[in-house]
Structure 1
Amino acid sequence: MLDWTWLILGLGIGFCMGWKIGRATAFGWAIREQKRISKMSREELREEREKLR
């Protein structure tokens, strides 16, 4: 039982720290993507979507 407690606690702390860092990084990436997308034309956007599939 003790092992599970420490495992969950460790994961919880790790997740909280990772979430803060990850959220900041993802937010920055999203802003960059949004700027890049706003510069693109509709044809380029369609090509991007095709690549993702």
Structure 2
Amino acid sequence: MTAPILPAPGTRLVELQLAREFGVSQAPVREALRERSSTRLVESLPPARNLRPRPLPG
């Protein structure tokens, strides 16, 4: 098994695409993105639900 490739900061995260990639429904993907947003690893940008990975502090 290979390690997943992380999206670059600023890349739009699409729930449906992520769900298909991981073979799950959108609900767990949505919950995971919500959790990552609360820890500031993902940021929500306008328009609503436009989620993108945040750059890591460096």
Could you tell me the TM-score, scaled by structure 1's length? 0.31
Q: Which has the higher contact order (CA 8 A, sep 6+)?
A: 2
Q: Per residue, is there more strand in 1 or in 2?
A: 2
Q: Per residue, is there more helix in 1 or in 2?
A: 1
Which has the larger Rg?
Answer: 1
